[in-house]
Amino acid sequence: MQEVRLGVNVDHVATLRQARGTSYPDPVTAAALAESGGADQITIHLREDRRHIQERDLRILRETVQTRLNLEMAATKEMSKIAYEFKPDMVTLVPEKREELTTEGGLDVAMKRDAIKDMVRFLKDGDIKVSLFIDPDIDQIRAAHKVNADAVELHTGSYCEAKNESIVKQEYGRLVDAAKTCAKIGLPVYAGHGLNLQNLAPVAALKEITEFNIGHSIVGRAIYVGMVEAVREMKAAILRARQGALQE
Ligand code: PXP
């Protein structure tokens, strides 16, 4: 079967730690357990306001992660320098607003093409792969391709948060079209944001998508069943959906 990766985002383990300013729970421990449960990648978002993940986490995870480390970050010079120093396997450039609860909407690559192109080149020179977190929009995909991104991650938030069946259908259609466009132009395509055991299957069935980055629902589920089991469940759900689609 074609490769499909699960990136486990451990930001919200750090959210709980930062809520009390304690040294626990530690996202480093969570990452090791996630890998035991079958995570193919550990994803962290080092936000400019450092509200959850800290530089200390990035430094230790760079040493301890056995799979791949994906650093989500804002497209700024300060963050590029940090990435260049710590050398994650991949950087995912995301838009960032201080007042937002979580990442809202994708990066506007089409609008900021020159600046993003320079940043992509700088990071790739440092031997770091670069993915761009974008809305499932054909113009954004074309722009991402033009700035030489290694991959794009499609923002699944609008699909996951859709309030009725007709919007779900419409948003899912956008993901399908975007995934197919990426495949056509040879741009690796990933997906993430808001995915959980209830809404994942149709997206995981899209064979063009080769990586999923999932955090909040896994960390939430881990409270009840533990991190290893929560990751196992999610990985099994992805593989089930993928196998089902291939048999059709
Ligand atoms: N991918 C990207 C680029 C993100 O910014 C996030 C949220 O940090 C995720 C995936 C994971 O989203 P969630 O926590 O909703 O699963």
pLDDT of 161 higher than 90: yes
Q: Which residues contact 180 (CB under 8 A, 6 or more apart)?
A: 208
Confidence class for position 222, pLDDT limits 50, 70, 90: very high
Confidence class for position 246, pLDDT limits 50, 70, 90: confident
Question: pLDDT (tens digit, 9 = 90+) per residue, 91-145?
Answer: 999 998 766 676 678 999 999 999 999 999 999 999 999 999 999 999 999 999 9
> pLDDT value at position 88?
98
Catalytic: which of 72, 153, 171, 208?
Answer: 72
The domains of the chain are located at 5-225+242-247
Give yes or no: 193 in active site. yes
> pLDDT value at position 3?
87
> pLDDT value at position 163?
95
Hey, what amino acid is at 82? I
Determine which residue's CA is closest to atom 3 belonging to ligand 1: 133
Question: pLDDT (tens digit, 9 = 90+) per residue, 81-93?
Answer: 999 999 999 999 9
More confident residue, 18 or 248: 18
User: CA 30 → CA 10, 25, 196, distances in Å?
Assistant: 7, 8, 18
> Which atom of ligand 1 lies closest to the CA of 103?
5
More confident residue, 97 or 154: 154
Distance 11 CA to ligand 1 centre (A): 9
Average of per-residue pLDDT values in the chain = 96
Catalytic: which of 12, 52, 155, 193?
Answer: 193
- Which CATH number is correct for 5-225+242-247, 3.20.20.70, 3.10.129.10, 3.40.50.800, 1.10.8.100? 3.20.20.70
> pLDDT value at position 1?
57
User: CA 87 → CA 7, 31, 70, 90, distances in Å?
Assistant: 17, 17, 10, 8
Q: Show the CA angle centred on residue 154, arms to residues 150 and 158, nearest 5°.
A: 165
Buried b (16+ CB within 10 A) or exposed e, 140-165: bbebbbebebbbbbbbbbbbbebeee
Determine which residue's CA is closest to atom 12 belonging to ligand 1: 193
Give yes or no: 78 in active site. no
Question: pLDDT (tens digit, 9 = 90+) per residue, 13-64?
Answer: 999 999 999 999 999 999 999 999 999 999 999 999 999 999 999 999 999 9
Question: pLDDT (tens digit, 9 = 90+) per residue, 188-201?
Answer: 999 999 999 999 99
Q: Which of 121, 126, 123 is nearest to 146 (CA)?
A: 121
Q: Which two tokens stand for residue 4?
A: 């499909």
Q: Which two tokens stand for residue 82?
A: 């940090």
Confidence class for position 206, pLDDT limits 50, 70, 90: very high
> Which atom of ligand 1 lies closest to the CA of 7?
10
Separation between Cα atoms, residue 204 and residue 211, nearest integer Å: 9
pLDDT of 243 higher than 80: yes
> Which atom of ligand 1 lies closest to the CA of 92?
3
Determine which residue's CA is closest to atom 5 belonging to ligand 1: 103
145 phi and psi, to 5 degrees? Answer: -65, -40
Q: Ligand 1 pocket, 9 CB below 6 A?
A: yes
Could you tell me the end-to-end alpha-carbon distance of the chain, in angstroms, rounded to an integer?
A: 14
Detail the DSSP E strand segments found in the chain: 5-9, 41-45, 69-74, 90-94, 129-134, 151-155, 189-192, 209-214
Give yes or no: 233 in active site. no
